[in-house]
């Protein structure tokens, strides 16, 4: 009888809903796993700031639940409804930053998330989607724990059983994402660049001026295709803020670089001659139709904010987004964006680690274009569950 009583006491879980930012911060400070502990205070502050902003927004709903057993914190999770997040083109509630030290805590936390979904009249829950994306990224990591921390790429405790718990609770793996050590060499395929295409680096203010075109291109390409798309105006502004932060630290490390070394690379000298090296955003590169002046494609990479926050030299790049407008396929744009972008950023600005991130396993075009030139680094999984009416 005594053993049964102890088991019941152990399994009894109390879940509370965080009421303010200070409570959110306290829970994160105690329980959040961060591979590099020195970065934990900054990461916690970024998550708290995001929660505070979204909780005051009319365009999103966000809540945090924390699990206690015998008065001891055993886990937490965020649940969110954001109009900018799409799953296969449809709005979908998400959970993120899920931490649970045992199955009972995970079960209790997800039960509250499911109630939140029902209350807001949705019937599907998906995650982990760890906001803000510049910190958390997408999915539960299962491989690649020895890789350097990369901002925008999801991380979790290698010893966590959360994915196992979620499967026991009826959540099904719906999407697999890979991160790759990509762009390690010049792409041979697609060397020729269409004569009507101009490849350009731009200063930050000119990138901001392209906001409408960038968002239109992303919506046309991603919202109806990808399993998880967290784009929209907030995401664009988040990326612009990353560029702004990094711009204070990015420096030309090789002022003696001779561009004629790459004179045979299609488009390189033309791009070089139009670039103001002291003012451009060196991690993103754009393709334009020379006739219309409209955006035809882009490669938007981000410097590793974790290096920036640790006051280290910026040498890591998260190759986060590549989009080529459908009607411009076959004009050598993808390979040109890669070849020119990688060459200039490494030879002039000192970047030496390029990671292609969050590549969806079912995106055949991306897999065929990127994987032959890369090697796998990390793997993440996203799960979902249909929430039944009660």
pTM of the model: 0.88
What values do phi and psi take at 246, rounded to 5? -70, -30
Residue 296 has pLDDT above 80, yes or no: yes
Distance CA 28, CA 135 (A): 14
Q: Are strands 353-360 and 316-324 parallel, antiparallel or unpaired?
A: parallel
Give the tens place of pLDDT for each residue, 98-123.
999 999 999 999 999 999 999 999 99
Q: Could you tell me the two tokens for 81? A: 């409804």
Question: What does the pLDDT read at residue 184?
Answer: 55
277: nearest Cα among 304, 297, 257: 257
Q: Quick check: do 2-177+381-386 and 197-373 share a fold? A: yes
Count the Cβ atoms, other than its own, within 10 Å of residue 168.
Answer: 12
Q: How far is Cα 96 from Cα 85, in angstroms, rounded to an integer?
A: 13
C-alpha to C-alpha distance for 106 and 74, rounded to whole angstroms: 9
- 390, pLDDT greater than 70: no
- Of 7-11, 130-134, 191-195, 273-277, the poorest mean pLDDT is in 7-11
Could you tell me the two tokens for 168? 């026991």
Rounded to whole angstroms, the Cα distance separating 131 from 135 reads 7
Give the domain ranges of the chain. Answer: 2-177+381-386, 197-373
Query: How far is Cα 229 from Cα 83, in angstroms, rounded to an integer?
Result: 11
| CATH architecture of the domain covering 2-177+381-386 | 3-Layer(aba) Sandwich (3.40)
Under a CB-based contact definition with an 8 Å cutoff, are residues 133 and 318 in contact? Answer: no
Distances in whole angstroms, Cα of residue 88 to Cα of each of 17, 114, 215, 225, 325: 30, 20, 17, 6, 19
Q: In CATH, which of 3.40.630.30, 3.20.20.140, 2.40.30.10, 2.40.50.140 is domain 197-373?
A: 3.40.630.30
Alpha-carbon separation of residue 11 from 5, 69, 71, 108 (angstroms):
10, 7, 12, 10
Counting residues of the chain whose pLDDT is more than 70, the rounded percentage is 87
Tell me which residue of 319, 267, 264, 263 sits closest to 296, measured CA to CA.
Answer: 267
Predicted confidence (pLDDT) at residue 288 exceeds the cutoff of 60:
yes
Of residues 363, 23, 90, 100, the one with CA closest to residue 229: 90
**Quick check: 8 pLDDT over 50?**
no
What is the C-alpha to C-alpha distance for residues 201 and 292, in angstroms, rounded to an integer?
18
State yes or no: pLDDT of 340 exceeds 60.
yes
- Quote the pLDDT of residue 1: 35
pLDDT tens for 14-47 read: 999 998 999 999 999 999 999 999 999 999 999 9
Q: Is 173 helix (H, G, I), strand (E, B) or coil?
A: strand
With a cut of 80, say whether residue 233 has pLDDT above it: no
């Amino acid at each position: 009888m005594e053993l049964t009583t102890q088991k019941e006491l152990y399994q009894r879980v109390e879940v509370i809903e965080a009421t303010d930012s200070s409570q959110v911060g306290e829970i994160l400070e105690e329980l959040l796993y961060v591979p590099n502990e020195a970065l934990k205070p900054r990461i916690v502050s970024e998550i708290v700031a995001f929660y505070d902003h979204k909780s005051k927004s009319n365009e999103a709903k966000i809540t945090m639940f924390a699990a206690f057993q015998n008065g001891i914190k055993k886990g937490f999770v965020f649940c969110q409804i954001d109009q900018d997040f799409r799953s296969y083109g449809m709005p979908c509630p998400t959970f993120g930053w899920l931490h649970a030290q045992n199955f009972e805590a995970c079960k209790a936390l997800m039960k509250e998330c499911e109630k939140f979904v029902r209350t807001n009249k949705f019937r599907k829950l998906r995650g982990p989607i760890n906001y803000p994306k510049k910190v958390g990224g997408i999915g539960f990591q299962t491989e690649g724990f020895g890789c350097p921390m990369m901002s925008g790429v999801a991380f979790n405790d290698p010893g966590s059983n959360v994915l196992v718990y979620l499967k026991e609770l009826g959540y099904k793996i719906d999407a697999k994402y890979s991160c790759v050590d990509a762009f390690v060499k010049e792409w041979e395929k697609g060397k020729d660049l269409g004569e009507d295409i101009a490849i350009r680096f731009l200063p930050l203010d000119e990138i901001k001026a392209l906001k409408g075109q960038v968002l239109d291109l992303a919506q046309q390409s991603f919202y109806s295709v990808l399993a998880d798309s967290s784009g929209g105006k907030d995401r664009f502004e988040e990326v612009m803020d990353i560029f702004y932060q990094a711009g204070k630290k990015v420096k030309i490390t090789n002022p003696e670089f001779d561009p004629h070394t790459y004179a045979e690379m299609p488009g390189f000298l033309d791009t070089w001659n139009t670039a103001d090296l002291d003012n451009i955003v060196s991690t993103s590169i754009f393709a334009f139709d020379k006739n219309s002046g409209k955006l035809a494609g882009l490669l938007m990479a981000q410097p590793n904010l974790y290096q920036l926050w640790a006051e280290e030299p910026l040498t890591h790049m998260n190759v986060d987004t590549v989009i080529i407008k459908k009607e411009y396929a076959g004009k050598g744009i993808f390979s040109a964006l890669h070849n020119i972008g990688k060459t200039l950023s490494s030879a002039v600005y000192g970047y030496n680690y390029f990671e292609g991130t969050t590549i969806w396993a079912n995106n055949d075009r991306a897999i065929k274009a990127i994987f032959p030139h890369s090697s796998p680094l990390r793997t993440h999984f996203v799960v979902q569950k249909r929430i039944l009416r009660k």
